[in-house]
Structure 1
């Protein structure tokens, strides 16, 4: 091999090494850019995922709030319907004849006074008035009516425990009283207000079973569906 050929090969090798050395930094720089791009992309994806999770949580909270508001509105509407129904029933004679009257004018006046308060939506005063009437005339022909309206007044004034006590006493004293089914409806409504749903269901089922031919039984059936 000639000296000239050897020198040429050495020069070519040196040139190749020089080119390789120059290419390495450029290659390393491209990898760094790619890594940064990947890291940036991962960060963006993570941020988007976090934002989506927060958005879903906020949406779930909003849906829950709306559901609660709808439930509350339904409850208020149902309560309003019940109060309207109670007001309607209070003007009806449940005995099938004319409203009861007694011969003693003082006794009749003692009953009419709280009844006027009841019809004027002065329920606390009415409850007290009916209570006073029952104390003074416990054996009156108007006693069961007075006890019914006393319990209804207690319910309307949000004394739910008192309403239950008075109206259950009415039904216990005479299960065949014309007001018994309606009295149990008020008992059930009071139990619902006290969050005693099992007690309310039991009371409503009792109405349906014991007083099937009454309008109260139809109301009880519709309320049982709402409590399912």
Structure 2
């Protein structure tokens, strides 16, 4: 038989465990444990976000480097006839044809790229066999790139390369294609375009530029 003092102690313990104070203690412990778990989860989430942010910043820096290369060469490959491997635009016997081309070029030099693109497009469609047509198409694509119409710029410039692969504008056209692909975040395609320049147009200024730009691709 249990001694009286043990019964009293047992009863006191039981009362304590069943009392509101005991419940509060248990609930408080659960709450603290939940808070600690939540804090741990928050720390993990913060670390994950920080890692993601680092990755995003690295990608943004890579794209910025590529865009910097594009912008630094725009004045060479987009804004002057000298960029086309120092080849002057051929003159044509038809004064109206020459005037049409010159008017489109004036729009381009003024920075009116949308109007210039439309003017060069009209020229190419009207004078399909003109010696100026490859350059008109090149400048149309370049103007569309400058006006941020990247998809159409790629289409026009690829047409230059497929229609006039031996023209001096072809490798420069591919450089602008690669630049447009970078703007569209088509990084793998841009790399392939630059490799294409190296393969099909070696020993050209465009190939040298492609080699430099490829350094920014991992």
Q: Same fold (TM over 0.5)?
A: yes
TM-score class normalised by the smaller sequence: 0.7 to 0.9
Structure 1: which 4+ aligned runs deviate by more than 6 Å? 30-36
1:180 aligns with 2:193: no
SS at match of 2:97: helix
Q: Which residue number in structure 2 is paired with residue 139 of structure 1?
A: 129
**Distance in 2, Cα, partners of 1:162 & 1:171:** 14
Q: Which residue number in structure 1 is paired with residue 11 of structure 2?
A: 25
Q: CA RMSD in A?
A: 3.3
**Distance in 1, Cα, partners of 2:42 & 2:149:** 44
Q: Which residue number in structure 1 is paired with residue 98 of structure 2?
A: 108
Q: Post-superposition shift, 1:18?
A: 4.1
Could you tell me which of 183, 208, 213 is aligned with 1:218?
208
**Aligned ranges 1:133-212 → 2 under 5 Å:** 133-194=123-184, 196-212=186-202
Q: State the Cα deviation string for residues 174-224 of structure 1 (Å, max 9, x = none).
A: 322111111111223334445555543332211011222223223323444
Question: Which structure ranks higher in relative contact order (CA pairs < 8 Å, sequence separation ≥ 6)?
Answer: 2
Q: Normalising to structure 1: TM-score of the pair?
A: 0.73
Q: Which moved more, 1:119-128 or 1:84-93?
A: 84-93
Q: Which moved more, 1:155-164 or 1:97-106?
A: 97-106
Q: Which residue number in structure 1 is paired with residue 113 of structure 2?
A: 123
Q: Normalising to structure 2: TM-score of the pair?
A: 0.75
1:96 aligns with 2:86: yes
1:86 aligns with 2:71: no
**Distance in 1, Cα, partners of 2:180 & 2:23:** 69
Q: Which moved more, 1:80-89 or 1:30-39?
A: 30-39
SS at match of 2:165: coil
Unmatched runs of 5 consecutive residues or more in structure 2:
none
Unmatched runs of 5 consecutive residues or more in structure 1:
1-15
Q: Post-superposition shift, 1:147?
A: 1.4
Mapped contact 2:154–2:180 kept (Cα < 8 A) = yes
Q: Post-superposition shift, 1:145?
A: 1.5
Aligned residues: 213
**Distance in 1, Cα, partners of 2:163 & 2:10:** 104
